[in-house]
Amino acid sequence: MNAKRLLWGVLMVIVLLAAVACGKNATENDPTLTQEPTPEVTVEPVASPTSEPAETPTPEPTPTEEAAPTAEPVATETPSPEPTAAPTETPKGTVFPSGKTLTTENLPVVDGALALEPFYDAVFAELLGLSVEDAKLFLPCNNTPGAYKNLTEGKCDMIFCALPSDEQVQTAKDAGVEFEYHTILSGGFVFFVSCDNPVDSITQEQLKGIVSGKITNWKEVGGDDEPIVLFQRNEGSGSQTGLYRYVLPKDQVMEPLLEHRVDDMMGAIDKVADYDNGKGAMSFSYYYYVANMHGSEKIKLLGIDGVIPSDETISTGKYPFLNFSQIVTRKDLPEDSIVRDIIAWVQGENGARIARENGYVPYAVKD
């Protein structure tokens, strides 16, 4: 009995040892049964939390990039010099002794005759601090008839013209308007003929005979046997008004043929210069326009009583047909109008200087 128990115990020990040995072999052959990978498994979950903090700094650059708008004030500073540059381009104008300042914003409405346009363009260019070309943009030129019409109707404040015709004065009176005259330039009312015409001068009496139609051929005044063709201007023009003022009244001047009436001074010069029927053509205008604005090598100025019109003979008063250009206003112009400051400036040394610089003959300067 004791032997059986002992044997049984030995067998149990052997079975236990065998079981232990089998379990060890199984774990070595099957890695899934090993517990060492457990740390590796724990490392992977740990990695994901650590990556999350790494992402939290990532948005931080966004605020730092949003600081870029601070560069926008820099952009606003860039154009800031432009407004400061603009005033330097704006005309400064002229401050008159009265304290008034003339600029393009308070510039009176100006008009005038074609022969005086270069003068008043130069005047206002200096007064406004502009180039002549820029000043012209503010200065219309509707010629003598249009200028007097606009002044009468109150569409302009001052005009640069010769004296008006009787009809223009009467039209103004009918509208309840009187003109006021301010002399600014000396000039001459001149006659011109073809350069091929041998006649250099005629007397005032001979001129009256030609204008009235009593003298019709150049041989009657010492020239060739050529018919005299007198080209006249349109009624109301400064030149036609000058003919009536300096030579004969309107009712004594011969009526020209329709083809011998021209609408502008340029046309009168061109007609005489290019007259198809020979050297007998003749016309009239104002000295400055013929001598400086639209002269031609094909024409010459005709002397009157032996005096050829020139700067010298006009300034000294030797030439008989002196014309004095005006700034014309309405008599109801307010005494404190800046137009009166402009007139005083033009009648002073500045106006005389501009006249000489532009080929005009200045009138006596007012101190």
What's the maximum distance between 2 C-alpha atoms anywhere in the chain? 192
Query: In this model, does residue 3 exceed pLDDT 50?
Result: yes
CATH topology agreement for domains 94-185+330-362 and 187-323:
yes
The residue that leads in pLDDT, 92 or 122, is: 122
Cβ 205 vs Cβ 305: under 8 Å? no
More confident call, 67 vs 318: 318
Count how many residues are written for the chain. Answer: 367
Burial (Cβ within 10 Å: 0-12, 13-18, ≥19) of residue 250: middle
- Reading phi first (left if > 0) and then psi (alpha if -120 to 50, else beta), residue 143 is in left
Q: What is the pLDDT of residue 272?
A: 81
Calculate mean pLDDT across residues 31-48: 42
> What residue segments make up the domains of the chain, in order of their start?
94-185+330-362, 187-323
Where is average pLDDT lowest: 58-62, 114-118, 207-211, 304-308? Answer: 58-62
Residues 180-227 pLDDT 10s: 999 999 999 999 999 999 999 999 999 999 999 999 999 999 999 999
User: What is the rounded CA–CA span in Å between residue 273 and residue 297?
Assistant: 8
Q: Is the pLDDT of residue 52 over 50?
A: no
Average pLDDT of the chain is: 81
Alpha helices, DSSP H, located in the chain: 2-29, 38-55, 61-66, 72-77, 81-89, 117-128, 132-136, 143-152, 166-174, 204-212, 238-246, 265-273, 287-288, 311-315, 338-346, 349-357
Joined together, the tokens standing for residue 331 give: 């008599």
> Is 3.40.190.10 the CATH number for 94-185+330-362?
yes
Rama region for 167: left / alpha / beta (φ>0; ψ in -120 to 50; rest): alpha
**Domain at 187-323: CATH code:** 3.40.190.10
Residues contacting 204, CB < 8 A, separation 6+: 247, 304, 305, 320
Mind listing the pLDDT tens digit for each residue in 307-353?
Answer: 999 999 998 999 999 999 999 999 999 999 999 999 999 999 999 99
**CA 267 – CA 75 distance, rounded (Å):** 59
Q: What is the pTM of this model?
A: 0.67
Which among 139, 112, 113, 144 has a CA at the least distance from the CA of 128?
A: 139
